[in-house]
Amino acid sequence: MDTKIVYNYSPEAPHVYTGPQQCYKTSLDQDTWHWTGLALENEPPATAANQIAAANADFTDWVVIADFVGFKYWLADGSEHVIHDYGFSPPADALSEKPVTSPTQEQLITQFTADIQDRLNSFARTRNYDNCLSCCTYAGSVVEKFATEAAYMISRRDAHWQLAYEILADVNAGSRPIPSKEDLFNELGPLEWPN
């Protein structure tokens, strides 16, 4: 029985090369080569990185197409993309790493206010209150300790937000940038429970 190598391609477009296969002629049929699946008798061309051979449109020869399947890239706007199909290349402006983008003014203000609220909530939790608001509800408590802590929390909450709005007014007027979290907390002053 004669044998030779043929070169398989996938049944799905774009019919990429999948590997060699040994085929044969039977003793009963010496005029026809027999193999399983789809194959070409001519060897596919050599390919470079990010290339793969594929059967041409009429399945008579090979062409070389892009192979970036699984390649992840980013665009300048920060959007992430992954190539899922053969024959596609990343665009010329693709980035190999997520770009570092500066936050918008709106994002900075959102973070600024979240940092203040988180600080107040975390401080309240040091005395087992759920958050700043929970502590403030004890302002009329008949338990002196709770009423004192609530009064302090209210005074510090008010001072925090009063200063925050002054800072934001200056930011919006263009007279200062939004402070870093560390600088903001320094401006807001310490939080220390009264004894």
Helix (H, G, I), strand (E, B), or coil: what is residue 130?
coil
Measure CA of the first residue to CA of the last residue in the chain; give whole Å: 99
What the block records as the tokens of 148 is 């004192």
Q: Tell me what pLDDT residue 118 has.
A: 97
Residue 177 identity: P
Q: How far apart are CA 10 and CA 33, in angstroms?
A: 19
Q: How far apart are CA 11 and CA 18, in angstroms?
A: 10
Matching residue, tokens 């007014």: 169
Mean pLDDT, 10 residues at a time, the chain of 195 residues: 87 94 81 86 95 96 97 93 96 92 83 95 97 96 96 97 93 89 94 91
Cis peptide before 14 (omega within 30 of 0): yes
Residue 67's φ and ψ, nearest 5 degrees, are -130, 85
Q: Tell me what pLDDT residue 1 has.
A: 55
Q: Tell me what pLDDT residue 79 has.
A: 92
What the block records as the tokens of 144 is 């002196």
Q: Tell me what pLDDT residue 75 has.
A: 94
Nearest to 13 by CA among 85, 89, 88: 85
Predicted model pTM = 0.53
